[in-house]
Amino acid sequence: MGDSIFTKILRGEIPCHKVYEDDHVLAFLDINPISRGHTLVIPKEPAETIDKLSDDAAAAIGRVLPRISRAVLAATGTQAFNLLQNNGVAAHQAVFHVHFHIIPMHDDSTGLGIVWRPGKLADGAELAKSIASKL
């Protein structure tokens, strides 16, 4: 795969406002924040989408997401936030290197807007079985 902008940030070729780094993970402020404190958490492994990420890299991210989220909340004086993780152009992904958005929701409702269109689960038993069989 080609280098994404985040690969360049990982290599230090493009600057970022870093908030956390370990051997497997980097976190930095989003350049166009939806709200104050909007932070991106990325694995160092260069997977485009999360379904292509290794278990180890996923575990490394999972280990630090709660801690980084707590720090974002504490620094911005917020209590609510969304974790957003887009995969694929149709799902709003613009940078093809796995990333989690931590987006604080401020008291004035500055934060992630969500259009949620709940449907009805028709074939739950069959669908769950089908997904489980592919794990």
Question: What is the contact surface with ligand 5GP in residues (CB under 6 A)?
Answer: 5, 14, 16, 28-32, 86, 92-95
Nearer to ligand 5GP, 91 or 122 (CB): 91
Would you say 103 and 81 are in contact if contact means Cβ atoms under 8 Å apart?
yes
Nearer to ligand 5GP, 16 or 57 (CB): 16
Catalytic residue positions, numbered: 99
Q: Label residues 102-127 b or e (16+ Cβ within 10 Å = b).
A: bbbbbeeeebeeeeeeeeeeeeeeee
Terminal Cα distance for the chain, rounded: 25
Shortest distance (Å) from residue 63 CB to ligand 5GP: 21
- Number of Cα atoms under 13 Å in the Cβ half of residue 90: 0
d(CA 125, CA 127): 6
Shortest distance (Å) from residue 90 CB to ligand 5GP: 12
Nearer to ligand 5GP, 14 or 127 (CB): 14
Shortest distance (Å) from residue 28 CB to ligand 5GP: 5
Shortest distance (Å) from residue 131 CB to ligand 5GP: 24
Residue recorded with tokens 């940078």 = 95
d(CA 49, CA 76): 29
Nearer to ligand 5GP, 1 or 129 (CB): 1
